[in-house]
Each structure stands twice: as structure tokens, then as C-alpha cells.
Structure 1
């Protein structure tokens, strides 16, 4: 479980490609402890649960995004 103190130094970012200005986005930011872990949260529910990914998990995700692995076709 991540503590509020660990989240206090997170520099949250929203994708510049997000068209949503109403708070329906995902925010992500590195933990300030230098571990390389990245916290992710819903921008509208900033006090709700945060998911934390290890450096390796985050790099795998970003690599998949860049490779188009998450370009899902609409159903």
C-alpha cells in the first residue's frame, strides 16, 4: 500500500493528447523516492486508490503503447 506521504511529491501529468477537459482522464507521475516507480490515478477521483507500477512494468507498458499493442479497434 502506498502512503499519502509517498504520493505527496508526485508530479502528476495528463496526456497532451487527451481531449477531455472534464476530469475523465488518467494521471501518472513518478514517485519522488527515486525508485523509478510510477503512480497512476483517475483525474476526477484524486483521493481514490492509486495503482503503483515498478520501473520495469511501466517501461513494458510504454513500450507496448509505442508498438501499437493497445490500439484496439472499436467493436
Structure 2
């Protein structure tokens, strides 16, 4: 796990499916330092650990989600 340096801004995004903030959810956003990395964190624990992914890693994950590779409960 990694945490972006405190001076690095992250444009956090949360799913519109998070049920008005009641559900446990994931936030993700690009780092504002030009590094083409994406940070991911738990929305209910914004001060806890943050995981960083490269652009290639994030794009591979998103493609897998779109293809249904992570439909564990469906």
C-alpha cells in the first residue's frame, strides 16, 4: 500500500450508487501531480491508507469490471 504525499491533490470521485453516503464505498481519483496514477481509498475512512495504481493497472481493472470479471455476487 502507498499513500500519496500530503501536498499532492487527488480529485476524489465516489460512485453515485453509494446510497447517499450510507453504504461503505470506494473512492478513486487521479493524482494532481501529473504522474498518471490513480489513488483508491475507503470512503468511510478517508484518513486511512490509500492504494496507488499506475494508469495501465487502473485501465486494466476498469476493462475487467466492464467485461464482468468482478461480478462475484451476480
TM-score normalised according to structure 2 size: 0.84
- Residue ranges of structure 2 left out of the alignment (5+ in a row): none
Matched, 1:10 2:10: yes
**RCO (CA 8 Å, sep 6+): is it higher in 1 or 2?**
2
Q: Deviations over 1:30-65 (max 9, x none)?
A: 000122100000111111110000000000000000
Query: Is the Cα contact below 8 Å between 1:23 and 1:43 reproduced in 2?
Result: no
- The structural deviation recorded for 1:17 is 2.4
TM-score normalised according to structure 1 size: 0.83
Count of residues in Structure 1 that have an aligned counterpart in Structure 2? 72
- Residue ranges of structure 1 left out of the alignment (5+ in a row): none
Runs (4+) of structure 1 exceeding 6 A deviation are none
